[in-house]
Structure 1
Amino acid sequence: MDDAIAQNNEVRLIDLFVDSFKLTDFGFDFDFVENGRPAYHPSDLLKLFIYGYLNRIRSSRVLEKESQRNIELMWLLKRLVPDHNTIANFRKDNTKPIAKVFRATVKMASHFELIGGTLVAGDSTKLRAQNSKKNNFNPAKIDRHIAYIDARLEEYALALSKQDGDTNNKKVITKKISKHRLQKQKYIAYQNIIDSTGVTQISTSDPDSRQIMTRNNISEVAYTVQTIVDARHNIPIDFKVTNQNDSKAMGGMLRRTKTILRTNNFTALFDKGYHTGSEFKAADQLGIKTLVAIPSIGRASQAPDTNYNSEHFAYCKENDTYTCPQGNILKSNGSTYKGNNYTFKQYKTKKCKNCPVRDLCTTAKANGKVIQRSEYQHYIEQNAIRMKQDPKAYKKRQAIVEHPYGVIKRQWGFYYIMTKKTIEHASADVGLIFSAYNLRRIFNLIDHNSLKEYLKRLFLIFYTYRTVFKAFCQTYINSKNQNIYHKKYYMVT
């Protein structure tokens, strides 16, 4: 069988890649039932999944079938054929270890200098969850269902009152009434959960998934996958599965990126969905330069003449005042007001009443033009300055961060999550997706002979370390048993 697998076949790279790990350090579970059949080694199941995802196979049943007929998998698994339940359980039970496998792919890419670490781009993509829209409920949808049931119950009650002696019809109607009452109790229970927990939605098949907008006003019950992609070879260096939108994601992703790259000397590009004042402050505190697209002003916030929009009012930090295009000074009364997760001040002037261009500046009848300045406005303005100074840099964002999404979703067809129930299980699936993507990039960019030499060195280092350490431990135990204390043992310890 070994002769049937070419030396340049990438399945040999997968074998070396997994064997170069110390899987106990990754946290894979090695426990097995003593009275049952021996457990499959985690390395065998990990090899099976990496091979599967690289070849667009994620189903545990299909992987089981392929291990019986695919000669590459027969060689890789040494003719082992795990059951599909064993395969599926390995994926969902090893979320954190799989994340460490992804980190290993990033480390390998860094070793071969495929990661520049000076320019990164962040974005999110939506992967559909194993939960239909029918099994997703929000307060408005629950109210509609309850109203529909109440209307049907009234109809059945009226029909029941008109039945004279037809016993069969009465039984049918009574059965329908009982069924609708049970359904109503179910929806009332959902509403009670929403009221008591503060969640906005309930998904019955996959509780952590949420109905969110995906594209062009089309919604799906899905997860949001936040990613950071390095610009040199479009390699993702971090991901996080959430059920939230993008507005509060940038700060946390930059903090993680700083830890991965071990520096803050890089520029991060994000689209307008991440344009949030508190996140700009977080990036500033981390010392990371960000370029975030500036969203357009809402129609309700625009002046009748756009030349009099608030961005054309000059702010003076020393005097804490604004100057309008007509030269009038807008002052604050010093009070701070609470907004949605932020505080702000209001600036206005009495000269608005007699201003000759008032109709061009504002539609307000009482106070005239009022400008609100958020506590994060300084950081927002700094981003606007950076965008003006370096407009070409931001244009690279889409080409950098959309590349992995195009391959994963369009070419590979991985536009949905395979696992069910909880973000942790979804993260395991996404971790394998991005691990496979990074390996595909590395296999395409690096000479296979160089890869083999690198992985063989890691393999030898790991096994040499393990053999020497075992020998030392045994020698040390023997010396302790003989009450012999050698200085060299303590030095090695």
Structure 2
Amino acid sequence: MFVLKCRTDRSLSCRDAYLNRVRSSRRLEAEAHRNIEAIWLLRRLTLDFRTIAAFRRVNRSAFRKVFREFVILCRQLDLFGRELLAVDGTRIKAVNNKDRNFTRASLSKFIHEADEKLIDCMKRLDEGDADEDGAGAGNGSGDSKLAEKIAAIGGKRARHKAMIEELDHTDEDQISLTDPDARAMARMTKVGVGYNVQLAVDTKHKLIVEQEVSNQVLDMGLLAPTAAAAMEALGVERIEVVADRGYFKIEDIEACEAAGITAYVPKPIRGPAVREGFFSKEEFRYDPVRDIFHCPADQVLSPRHYGKSRDNVKIDYTNRAACKACHLRERCTKTFRRVSRLENEAILDRMAARLAVRPDILDRRRESVEHPFGTIKQWMNRGAFLMRRLENVRGEFSLTALAYNIKRAITIIGAPDLIAAVKA
């Protein structure tokens, strides 16, 4: 059994537990009493689950440092190619049920529905009072239940109103009650409420170079910081990185280029023209010398309007006169076609040219970064976090990434050589 140098037996127990798919502090306490390997590793210490849980919580930042030290060890053993990184993200469920997560839209919808119910209840209560005055006898039981219902709806409405006020105060767009840092992820992930785990994987041996846990729902904007941290860990000044369409953001690609990172990110096919079945922007050829677009009908679109897209200057290219008489108009636009281009879009043109030369690099991304995700989620049974709050979750996943790298290194060079490298 491979054992890293560490200061306490509790650290050994946590690391060994993650290698052997035992993450719960209560289950680890049980293993310390019955598992021969754990008894030997812990030197017959029988740790209480509270001690294990407290150790993991208090030393959460240290686990990330240990992970990085092991990355340096793997670099010294020449286990990294240090040429190409594959970056991707996956969503892992948090300790927060989706029923205890509220967005601003869902809160507003509930308050609106509660107001309608309260109006209806008050109307029924008034009708009951009118019937009572006319008949000379009342329905005390019915009025009492209706009053209780009004009080319940009003109380729930007040709680939801307080949550909206909290969102206004914090400038957040959603709130989670069990784990305040967890966020509702995109619907296609089927995770519900969780965290976004980012990995940078070296393509030589599929070892994790950098890992980070975020509560950002989308991957856009996370490529440059993840790749830059990985590049620093590998000790190189330049590196290539490949990611999927979810990372396509011009500011991120620009930041990569400035940091010496050559990015390969395919452009997503999206936009109102694509949704309506018209020609996509890619079918319009840009001429950088003349600063014009050639449309599919070989007409010239010139720059006409200037605006802003986030912090970028956006230029719209049009030719209304050509669109009026165009024989392809029904396939292109309803009125006249407008093609937008950012002032710094040459960065994306360069990346598109690189991808055209190396289309196979996208397959390398898939086969590299999907390996650790598949291993972590399936073999290591890592479908959900056990801890709450972002910093605790980051420490928890650092142990997971460390366990994956240890197991992978053992597979590559064997346990004896790895133990010898640790002791050296």
* TM-score for the superposition, normalised by structure 1: 0.78
Pair 1:370-2:343 in alignment: no
Find the partner of 2:410 among 443, 446, 457.
Answer: 443
Q: Residue in 2 aligned with 1:491? A: none
Amino acid in the other structure paired with 2:319: T
1:339 maps to which residue? Answer: 309
Q: Deviations over 1:205-234 (max 9, x none)?
A: 111111112536x45101000110011111
What is aligned with 1:271? 244
1:159 Cα deviation after fit:
5.3
- Determine whether 1:103 maps to 2:71: no
CA contact under 8 A between 2:323 and 2:329: conserved in structure 1? no
Q: Which has the higher contact order (CA 8 A, sep 6+)?
A: 2
Higher radius of gyration, 1 or 2: 1
Listed one character per residue, the Cα deviations across residues 389-415 of structure 1 (whole Å, up to 9, x for unaligned) are 011222111110000111111122101
- Quote the offset at 1:434 in angstroms: 0.4
Aligned-pair CA distance for 1:154: 4.0
**Alignment-derived partner of residue 281 in structure 2:** 310
Partner of 1:453: 420
Pair 1:179–1:18, CA change in 2 (3 A): farther
**2:107 matches 1:136:** no
Aligned residue-pair number: 415
1:293 pairs with one of 266, 270, 278:
266
Query: 2-side partners of 1:70 and 1:301: how far apart?
Result: 59
Deviation at 1:279, TM superposition (A): 1.1
1:83 matches 2:56: no
- Maintained 8 Å contact 2:67/2:401: yes
User: How far apart are 1:165 and its partner, in Å?
Assistant: 5.0
Q: Within the alignment, does 1:238 sit opposite 2:206 as a pair?
A: no
Matched, 1:397 2:369: no
Q: Cα deviations across residues 269-306 of structure 1 (Å, max 9, x unaligned)?
A: 10011111111111111122221122124463479664
- Is 1:18 equivalent to 2:5 in the alignment? yes
Inter-partner Cα distance in structure 2 for 1:328 and 1:159? 67
1:113-134 per-position Cα deviation (integer Å, ceiling 9, x unaligned): 2111111100000000111111
Structure 1 residues 112-131: aligned runs within 5 Å:
112-131=77-96
What does the per-residue CA deviation read over 1:236-276, in whole Å, with 9 as the maximum and x for residues that have no partner? 11011111111111111122122112214322110011111
| The one of 2, 18, 21 aligned to 1:53 | 18
Percent of aligned positions with the same letter in both sequences?
28
Q: Tell whether the 8 Å contact from 2:125 to 2:146 is kept in structure 1 after alignment.
A: yes
Deviation per CA, 1:62-116, whole angstroms, max 9, x where unpaired? 1112112222222222222222122112222222211011112212222222111
The separation in 2 between residues aligned to 1:169 and 1:71, in whole angstroms, is 66
Taking a change above 3 Å as real, the CA distance of residues 184 and 293 of structure 1, as seen in their structure-2 partners, is same
5+ residue gaps, structure 1: 1-9, 20-41, 458-493
Question: Residue 277 and residue 347 in structure 1: after superposition, are their counterparts in 2 closer, same or farther (change >3 A)?
Answer: same
Instruction: Single out whichever of 390-399 and 344-353 deviates more from structure 2.
Output: 344-353
Match of 1:203 in 2: 176
Q: Is the 8 Å Cα contact of residues 324 and 330 (structure 1) preserved in structure 2?
A: yes
Match of 2:292 in 1: 321
Most deviating of 86-95 and 141-150: 141-150
The letter for the 1-side match of 2:418 is L
1:228 and 2:222 are equivalent in the alignment: no
* Structure 2 unaligned regions, length at least 5: none
CA contact (8 A) 2:19 2:403 kept: yes
Are 2:386 and 1:418 equivalent residues in the alignment? Answer: yes
Letter matched to residue 226 of structure 2: M
Range that drifts further, 45-54 or 293-302: 293-302
Match of 1:471 in 2: none
Change (3 A) 1:72 1:214: farther
How has the CA–CA distance of structure 1 residues 82 and 165 changed in structure 2, closer, same or farther, with 3 Å as cutoff? farther
| Secondary structure in 1 matching 2:186 | strand
Distance 2:296 2:116 in 1: 60
Check the 8 A contact 1:247/1:276 in 2, yes or no: yes
- Supply the AA of the counterpart residue of 2:30: K
- Of 394-403 and 371-380, more deviation after overlay is shown by 371-380
